[in-house]
Amino acid sequence: MSVYDIECPFCFEKGNFENVFHEEKKKPNSSKKLNFDVYKCVNCAGYVHVFWSASESSYGENGIHNYRVLPWPIGKVEAPEHWPDSVKRYWMQAHDTMKGENWDAAAAMAGSALQVALRDCGARGKNLKDEIENLAEQGILPSIMKEWSDELRFLRNNSAHPGKDQTQLNPQDVEDVIEFLDHLLRYLYDLPKQINEYRNRKK
C-alpha cells in the first residue's frame, strides 16, 4: 500500500501514518483480496480508513493497486513545492475540476499539465504526440508511461477539439488518466529529488 500518497483529512500531512488495524477478504478462486486498513496520522493522531486492493495481474510483479480513503481531504489540492510552477498550476486545476465533476475541463487541464511537464524535461516536437515520442526515444519515458501519455493525449483532444456530436467523457476514464498524471509527475520530479537526497545522505 502506497501510504506516501495518503493525505490526512484533518491536518493535511501527507504520508505520515502508522497502521493500527488490518483485515482482509480474499476473492474465491483467486489471489485477489480486498484490504481494510486503519491508519493513524503521526502528526495529529487523526484516523483514516483505507480500502485497497492490488490487481490480480500485479501480484508478485509491480504491485499496482487502487485505494479509497475515508474521510478524504476536502481542502484545495496542493502540489509539491519542487514542481515547476506551470506544472503545478495545470495539475491543481485538473484535480479541482475533477472534484467538481467537470470532466471535459479536467481532461483538458491534465493534458496541459502533461505537455508542460514534458517540455520542462526537454521534449521537442511540433505537438504533444511528437513530444511524447521524443522523450520515449530518449529513454526518459518508459514504454508503459508512453502508452498512458498517449491515452491522456487522446482524452485531452476529445475535450479540447470536440466534434459536432461529441458525447460526455467517461468519468472513470478521466479519473484514470489523472491518476496516471500523478504517477508520471512523481516519476519525473519526486523520484529524482528523493534519489538526490539519498545520495547526499550517503555522502
What is the C-alpha to C-alpha distance for residues 182 and 202, in angstroms, rounded to an integer?
A: 28
pLDDT of res. 162: 67
What is the C-alpha to C-alpha distance for residues 127 and 163, in angstroms, rounded to an integer?
A: 20
Whether the Cβ atoms of residue 70 and residue 38 lie closer than 8 Å to each other: no
pLDDT of res. 56: 60
- Tell me if the bond preceding 28 is cis, omega within 30° of 0: no
pLDDT of res. 17: 94
In sequence order, the 6+-apart residues with CB closer than 8 A to the CB of 69 are: 6, 9, 48, 49, 50, 51
Integer-rounded Cα radius of gyration of the chain: 18
Cell digits of residue 102: 467537470
Q: Is 175 helix (H, G, I), strand (E, B) or coil?
A: helix
Cell digits of residue 64: 499496482
Q: Which residues of the chain have pLDDT under 50?
A: 58-62
pLDDT of res. 61: 41
Of the candidates 85, 109, 83, the one whose C-alpha atom is nearest the C-alpha of residue 96 is: 109
What single DSSP character describes residue 167? P
Q: List residues bridging with 17 in a β-sheet.
A: 41
pLDDT tens profile 94-127: 999 998 889 999 999 999 999 999 999 999 999 9
Cell digits of residue 63: 504491485
By DSSP bridging, strand 17-26 and strand 47-54 are unpaired
pLDDT of res. 71: 85
pLDDT of res. 190: 94
* Cell 476514464 found at: 173
pLDDT of res. 72: 72
**CATH class of the region 85-202:** mainly alpha
